[in-house]
Amino acid sequence: MSKAYEQLTTYLERAQAFQTAMVLFEWDNETLAPKEAGPYTSRMIGAISGEYYRVITDKEFKRFIEACKKDKSLSETEAAIVREAGEELEKLDCIPAEEYREFAQLCSESTRVWAKARKEKDFDAFVPTLKKVLDYQKRFASYRAKEGQKLYNVMLDTYEKGFDMETLDKFFAVLKEQLVPFLKKLMDSGVSIDDSFLTGDYPEEKQEEIGKYLAEYVGFDFNKGVMAVSAHPFTTNLHNHDVRITTAYNNHVDDSIFSVIHESGHGIYEMGIPDELTQTLVGQGTSMGMHESQSRFFENIIGRSQAFWKPVYPKLQEVFPGQLGDVSLEQFVKGINKVTPSLIRTQADEMTYSLHVLIRYEIEKMLVEEDLDVEKLPEVWADKYEEYLGVRPKDVAEGVLQDIHWSQGSFGYFPSYALGSAFGAQLYTYMKKHMDFEGLLETGKAGIRVIREFLRENIHQYGKLKTSRQILKDVTGEDFNPQYYVDYLVEKYSNVYGI
Amino acid sequence: MSKAYEQLTTYLERAQAFQTAMVLFEWDNETLAPKEAGPYTSRMIGAISGEYYRVITDKEFKRFIEACKKDKSLSETEAAIVREAGEELEKLDCIPAEEYREFAQLCSESTRVWAKARKEKDFDAFVPTLKKVLDYQKRFASYRAKEGQKLYNVMLDTYEKGFDMETLDKFFAVLKEQLVPFLKKLMDSGVSIDDSFLTGDYPEEKQEEIGKYLAEYVGFDFNKGVMAVSAHPFTTNLHNHDVRITTAYNNHVDDSIFSVIHESGHGIYEMGIPDELTQTLVGQGTSMGMHESQSRFFENIIGRSQAFWKPVYPKLQEVFPGQLGDVSLEQFVKGINKVTPSLIRTQADEMTYSLHVLIRYEIEKMLVEEDLDVEKLPEVWADKYEEYLGVRPKDVAEGVLQDIHWSQGSFGYFPSYALGSAFGAQLYTYMKKHMDFEGLLETGKAGIRVIREFLRENIHQYGKLKTSRQILKDVTGEDFNPQYYVDYLVEKYSNVYGI
């Protein structure tokens, strides 16, 4: 190891410890911490994030990065770590310490303001805070923007390298032009699918039992992970030997089943990071989009297929004999694939999901690039829902205030959700040609293992050493192509609806 | 706020954030973290503890302390915080950074070595590590020792200010001279107490139900605290609004009941710290001994009394109708007060508990002051158990390897356990004279509230602003006096055994 790299490493290890501590605080806060701990926890996270900033913007750190960049003896991984470190430095170093602190403080408050406004269905109460958060994010983006770079492109780059507005405009245009009319066709088909059996008396402990069973079944390793309960399901990880998923229980059994399989997909990605990379700057999933591709791959492409349920549905019936004993495999699979245009993104079905994202993408562009007046958001939002999904929110809680993201300053994050689905479909189309995908699912755990190994081999093991775009190219032999996603959806749902 | 104090505060807040993060990592590791996370967690704790060391030993920090010490405008609390900061600095600054790191590393390994050795009943496997840990602690004590100060006194001072060997020799002499013969008398009395009903089929979820009920009943506030499961019960806290207790479940229902009440006592102490003090250097229980006094007060003086169970025993019978329905209140209270000289400290009854501690105190003195050969520990240990308790361990797992403390370098900690019991008895003797203690317990939650408020008012609210010795003097009007403890035990157990 070169001297400069070694010195850089000591800084990175300190930064990593702070990151890990913040992850743990956040996990704890969402899952277990007592009610009154909140404000104190925010202060702690604020303090630790200040320490992180302090390490990254240390003059010595900058000096070591410069030295490493000139060092030709670095391995490929080391060079990638230096590159990531440089990007992290660039991201933070251009923000004055004072503004960084103010923004961190603002964010922890603004999430509370948002939650209250949502609860009280009072958008006006959130407007001043949202304006401030947006202003900060625009300012930070302007600090980081390269000559002539659009601000929203700076934001997008944080979550998904190589996917700027030009690419995304094309992507979302494909969805809009083909999926919106297809959805209308489905809804006008007169076909009605029964999924009433998914709602009812599903005891929590039984849902937990089947949730853990399914997580393990798809490959979530409970020696390296845990599952807990939180208000909204999420995945987090301290490192590749400590990956954590959550779920929530209600009387819709499919909510917990598919959230568990979804989060397991995220978890399996992080468990697939090699020991050599974990807890380094390249030791995580490469992007939000690729992460979402894995979670949605497990949830939808694997988890909502008949082949998947064929060996495992009897187990589900065994746990819920009264509720599902009389429901056939075919009825069950149709039920879990019912399409219902709805108002809430996180409850959307596979077919309509990316239309929710399309709406957010269009609005974010307007907010950042066209200075849309924040006050007008509820109306713009409602109009777009009516146009694309045929439904109109009756209040802001089921409209513009449904997502936490903007309150946290996450502008540019949403597109990853739709990109992930599209990445997944492109990978699936390739995989189907080279393996008996459905046949593997029908053989149960052993078959899923083959699929999982393919994903590990081609995606997970690289961490951040490859971008999502590179991965797609290396695996499928071609650049990102959204048509696969549309074709996949149209084929699948034409079948489900028999049209 | 004075300028220097303000500057000191920014350092202290950083140190506090690191401390809190370490507490959370440790809590998480004991309660929830996946099996394979252990070594990574150790590394994180090591890194964060390095950051803590870095802040405390910063030259600026030292400068601000010096400035504050000269500042006459500080409030009493501020001055106390400066004093504590100075002590923390003294404690760490004398240890070379390199040795500090090595020792932290050693400790995290040594706990694993100890656990393995205990499991395999192989003391020799632990000897080299224990020697190293002991050497480090002696060396660190020598760095900190004042002119002529004995090393073991330096260690004792860390846990209990004002209780050096001179005081403790007298304390333990009283126990040895009076309790050892009294125990013999009890055992020779021929009285036999039935407690067989405490062991049996006690389902875990029912134990959890009654555990939470009792924690709340004695005053543990679940808005500011949580209860979880771990291998060994413990209490920890992030601040006064986030206090955490654990318990463990087996087929002895009294194990979980009394561990919950015990840990609730610790928790109530920390919940009683005022908001102004929490997350400062004086915002915790004043000492290990005073902490143990509160936990053992709740567990034994309150929790093993007939007056306590009078209103609440029907609830216990309701939860366990098959197991306790036919056991009368009197039988139950006798059962939970049965004396059985045994080998394991953590399972010891109230009567014999401090004799276990006496043995550890005598051995620690020999190790630190008389250079007792570590290899001889198992034999010395067994001989003392035979002499004081009349039982002899058949292996090291139930002998010298039973406690984790020495593997963590905690020499001088044990006496606090016995001191705590004695503090509690002295407080109880005073309280009984000034309030109808048993009458209050008989009125249930409202009565316990009065007792708890007394403790909060006189002990908890001061945090570290008073030492345990000062507290005893201020509350009871006299210095620490171990005779109250012996008298309490002799009176109580003479009654229980009718001798």
Tell me the HSE value of A50 on the side-chain side, using a 13 A CA sphere.
20
Test B228 with A32 for CB contact under 8 angstroms. Answer: yes
Q: Quick one: which H or E segment has residue B228?
A: strand B225-229
A222 contacts A243 by C-beta, under 8 angstroms: no
Determine whether A206 is exposed, middle or buried from the number of CB atoms within 10 Å of its CB (0-12, 13-18, 19+): middle
For A318-326, the CB contacts below 8 A with 24+ separation are A319/A206, A319/A209, A319/A210, A320/A202, A320/A206, A320/A210, A320/A253, A323/A197, A323/A200, A323/A201, A323/A202, A323/A253, A324/A197
What pLDDT sits at residue A107?
86
For A7-12, the CB contacts below 8 A with 24+ separation are A7/A60, A7/A64, A8/A61, A8/A64, A8/A65, A8/A68, A8/A82, A8/A85, A11/A55, A11/A56, A11/A58, A11/A60, A11/A61, A11/A64, A12/A81, A12/A85, A12/A280, A12/A281
Confidence band, pLDDT 50/70/90 cuts, at residue B222: very high
Q: What is the DSSP letter of A68?
A: H
Rounded to whole angstroms, how far apart are CA atoms A218 and B234? 36
- Angle between helix axes B253-271 and B204-218 (nearest 10 degrees) is 30
**Alpha-carbon gap: A255 to the closest alpha carbon of chain B (Å):** 24
Confidence band, pLDDT 50/70/90 cuts, at residue B441: very high
Per the document, the length of chain A is 499
Residue range B283-328, pLDDT digits in tens:
999 999 999 999 999 999 999 999 999 999 999 999 999 999 999 9
What pLDDT sits at residue A39?
85
What is the rounded average pLDDT of the residues B316-341?
98
A343 contacts A391 by C-beta, under 8 angstroms: yes
Test B21 with A224 for CB contact under 8 angstroms. Answer: no
What is the rounded average pLDDT of the residues A1-8?
90
Residue range B457-474, pLDDT digits in tens:
999 999 999 999 999 999
Nearest CA in chain B to A51: B14
| Residue of A13, A23, A40, A224 to mutate when probing chain B, most B C-beta within 10 A | A40
Instruction: Return the active site residues of A.
Output: 263
**Alpha-carbon gap: B93 to the closest alpha carbon of chain A (Å):** 21
Among residues A242, A338, A224, A308, the alpha carbon closest in space to that of A20 is found at A242
Confidence band, pLDDT 50/70/90 cuts, at residue B141: very high
A213 contacts A316 by C-beta, under 8 angstroms: no
Nearest CA in chain B to A35: B223
Residue range A140-162, pLDDT digits in tens:
999 999 999 999 999 999 999 99
DSSP string, B137-165: HHHHHHHH--TT--HHHHHHHHHSTT--H
φ/ψ of residue A343, rounded to 5: -95, -25
What pLDDT sits at residue B108?
77
Residue range A188-204, pLDDT digits in tens:
999 999 999 999 999 99
Rounded to whole angstroms, how far apart are CA atoms B336 and B303? 10
pLDDT at A108 over 80: no
Q: Which residues in chain B have Cβ-Cβ distances shorter than 8 Å to A21?
A: 21, 24-25, 44, 48
- Distance of CA B204 to CAs A94, A423, B209, Å? 55, 46, 9
- Distance of CA A47 to CAs A14, A41, A104, A121, B50, Å? 14, 10, 10, 32, 16
What amino acid is encoded at B48 in this protein? I
3-state secondary structure of A238: strand
| Cβ atoms < 10 Å from Cβ of B31 | 17
Q: Taking phi first (over 0 means left), then psi (-120 to 50 degrees means alpha), and beta for anything else, what does residue B390 get?
A: left
**Paired sense of beta strands A235-239 and B225-229, if any:** unpaired
**Alpha-carbon gap: B17 to the closest alpha carbon of chain A (Å):** 6
What pLDDT sits at residue B318?
98
What is the rounded average pLDDT of the residues B16-23?
96
Q: Which residues in chain A have Cβ-Cβ distances shorter than 8 Å to B40?
A: 238-239, 241-242, 279
| Cβ atoms < 10 Å from Cβ of A474 | 12
**Alpha-carbon gap: A72 to the closest alpha carbon of chain B (Å):** 29
Q: How is residue B49 written in tokens? A: 């503890």
Q: Which residues in chain B have Cβ-Cβ distances shorter than 8 Å to A51?
A: 14, 17, 51
Question: B78, B88, B263, B350: which is the annotated catalytic residue?
Answer: B263
Rounded to whole angstroms, how far apart are CA atoms B144 and B147? 10
Q: Which residues in chain B have Cβ-Cβ distances shorter than 8 Å to A24?
A: 21, 24-25, 28
pLDDT at B492 over 80: yes
Test A242 with B33 for CB contact under 8 angstroms. Answer: yes
Q: What is the DSSP letter of A273?
A: S
Lowest mean pLDDT among A39-48, A488-497, B124-133, B201-210: A39-48
**Alpha-carbon gap: A226 to the closest alpha carbon of chain B (Å):** 6
A377 contacts A123 by C-beta, under 8 angstroms: yes
Residue range B107-118, pLDDT digits in tens:
878 988 999 999
What pLDDT sits at residue A2?
83
Test A51 with B17 for CB contact under 8 angstroms. Answer: yes
A308 contacts A228 by C-beta, under 8 angstroms: no
What pLDDT sits at residue B109?
85
Q: Which residues in chain B have Cβ-Cβ distances shorter than 8 Å to A228?
A: 32
What pLDDT sits at residue B105?
82
**Residues near A10 by Cβ (< 8 Å), separated by ≥ 6?**
none
What pLDDT sits at residue B104?
85
Residue range A244-262, pLDDT digits in tens:
999 999 999 999 999 999 9
Partners of B247 in the β-ladder: B229
What pLDDT sits at residue A104?
85
Residue range A353-364, pLDDT digits in tens:
999 999 999 999
- Distance of CA A282 to CAs A19, A54, A288, A401, B480, Å? 14, 21, 14, 34, 59
Residue range A154-185, pLDDT digits in tens:
999 999 999 999 999 999 999 999 999 999 99
pLDDT at A112 over 90: no
pLDDT at B1 over 80: no
Test B40 with A222 for CB contact under 8 angstroms. Answer: no
Q: Which residues in chain B have Cβ-Cβ distances shorter than 8 Å to A277?
A: none
Residue range A206-226, pLDDT digits in tens:
999 999 999 999 999 999 999
Test A242 with B41 for CB contact under 8 angstroms. Answer: yes
Q: Using beta carbons and an 8 Å cutoff, which residues of B are at the interface with A?
A: 13-14, 16-17, 20-21, 24-25, 28, 32-37, 40-41, 44, 47-48, 50-51, 222-226, 228, 238-239, 241-243, 279
φ/ψ of residue B124, rounded to 5: -55, -35
Provide the number of CB pairs (under 8 Å) joining chain A to chain B: 99
Residue range A302-358, pLDDT digits in tens:
999 999 999 999 999 999 999 999 999 999 999 999 999 999 999 999 999 999 999
Partners of B246 in the β-ladder: B228
Which residue of A32, A228, A242 is in closest CB contact with B226?
A32
Q: What is the DSSP letter of A413?
A: -
What pLDDT sits at residue B182?
98
Write down the mean pLDDT value for chain A.
96
**Alpha-carbon gap: A25 to the closest alpha carbon of chain B (Å):** 8
